[in-house]
């Protein structure tokens, strides 16, 4: 019996980034050995002169392409197109891919953001016309909101983050679970740590510092493997898995600060893969880490966060943390990192 067919339909105005997100999602799926295909529907009807039965031709082209993919065992398909989430568009998709389940997502952005993206993408004579089309499409979509269509605002979001949100919405990678790390997780943990720095700290720390972290991935993996080989070392490592893939990690330990009493534990780190950002995975890791510190008998928790990292600071403050006035500087090759200390009691917030 063949797998059920699931189709992720990614719509949105021209220039919003549908193709970029679709191919980023494809990379994520490939990294997890999840079979799929990607079709940009704009390529199904790119013909001149335009035939009078163009819609029928487009449908036949998709049906033929899907038949070939299906014969090779594909059961997941990513489709991109401007208006593909509209009921009349979904109708012909259902005819071309009979029996499939359709997941509808619409990418949106402000008029200014889309204009900037079109300017970067369109380097030929069609830029002005595309700007106007995109503006008209955005206006039309503003008055066409339906509960079956998930709308994602893409302003100020990395392509990897948007792709991660689509992966979660599709449920193609499986549910997210949290568990204690094992020595076999060391390489994946080091990879998440490096990838997180490449995204989260751009513009916040000198490039040389980020390069040092990324370049030290292999050494860090060996160090983590040695720590995880211990019976019950003071640092406890936790990992978040989506299906079988590690997409986040957290570390707890007794506080390393010389002024901390023995009843104070420390949240040493939370790092997420770029595709795991904004999906509640960080909060799940945080809550498991707090439970671990409570189970180990600590009455209070503390952490250090980069002073300039406003996103992380908002995250911790929303979870009940507050600054205590302490600060420190950490010298690294290429620059100095300025850090602020946070605390919270280990009780329900």
| pLDDT tens track for 48-88 | 999 999 999 999 999 999 999 999 999 999 999 999 999 99
Fold of 176-345: Aminopeptidase (3.40.630)
Q: How far apart are CA 154 and CA 108, in angstroms?
A: 6
**Taking all residues of the chain, what is their mean pLDDT, rounded to a whole number?**
92
User: Which of 210, 180, 183 has the alpha carbon at shortest distance from 195?
Assistant: 210
Domain borders along the chain are 6-170, 176-345
- The pLDDT of residue 292: 96
Q: How far apart are CA 240 and CA 263, in angstroms?
A: 27
- The pLDDT of residue 349: 43
Mean of pLDDT values over 86-102: 96
Does this model's pTM top 0.75? Answer: no
Is a pLDDT exceeding 90 seen at residue 13?
yes
Mean of pLDDT values over 267-286: 92
Is a pLDDT exceeding 60 seen at residue 202?
yes
- The pLDDT of residue 2: 63
User: Which has more confidence, 147 or 270?
Assistant: 270
Q: Give the Å distances, CA to CA, from 266 to 57, 117, 260, 342.
A: 62, 42, 10, 10
Is a pLDDT exceeding 80 seen at residue 267?
yes
Name which CATH class applies to 6-170: alpha beta
């Amino acid at each position: 019996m063949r797998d059920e067919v699931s189709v992720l339909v990614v719509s949105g105005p021209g220039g919003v980034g549908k193709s970029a997100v679709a191919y980023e999602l494809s990379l994520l799926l490939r990294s997890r050995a999840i079979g799929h295909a990607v079709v940009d529907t704009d390529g199904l009807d790119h013909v001149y002169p335009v035939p009078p039965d163009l819609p029928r031709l487009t449908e036949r082209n998709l049906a033929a392409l899907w038949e070939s993919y299906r014969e090779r065992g594909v059961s997941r398909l990513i489709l991109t197109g401007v208006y593909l989430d509209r009921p009349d568009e979904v109708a012909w998709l259902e005819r071309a891919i009979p029996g499939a389940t359709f997941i509808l997502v619409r990418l949106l952005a402000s008029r200014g953001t889309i204009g900037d993206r079109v300017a970067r993408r369109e380097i030929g004579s069609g830029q002005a016309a595309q700007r106007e089309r995109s503006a008209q499409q955005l206006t039309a979509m503003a008055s066409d909101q339906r509960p079956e269509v998930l709308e994602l605002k893409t302003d100020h979001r990395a392509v990897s983050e948007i792709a991660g949100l689509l992966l979660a919405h599709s449920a193609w990678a499986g549910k997210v679970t949290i568990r204690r790390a094992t020595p076999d997780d060391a390489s994946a943990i080091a990879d998440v740590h490096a990838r997180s720095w490449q995204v989260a700290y751009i513009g916040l720390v000198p490039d040389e510092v980020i390069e040092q972290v990324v370049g030290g991935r292999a050494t860090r993996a060996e160090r983590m493997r040695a720590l995880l080989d211990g019976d019950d070392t003071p640092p406890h490592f936790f990992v978040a898995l989506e299906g079988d893939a590690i997409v986040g990690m957290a570390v707890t330990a007794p506080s390393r600060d010389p002024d901390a009493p023995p009843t104070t534990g420390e949240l040493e780190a939370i790092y997420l893969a770029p595709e795991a950002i904004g999906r509640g995975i960080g909060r799940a890791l945080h809550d498991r880490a707090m439970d671990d510190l409570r189970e180990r008998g600590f009455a209070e928790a503390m952490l250090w966060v980069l002073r300039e990292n406003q996103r992380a600071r908002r995250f911790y403050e929303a979870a009940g943390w507050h600054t205590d006035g302490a600060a420190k500087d950490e010298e690294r090759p290429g620059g100095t990192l300025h850090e602020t200390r946070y605390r919270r009691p280990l009780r329900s917030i």
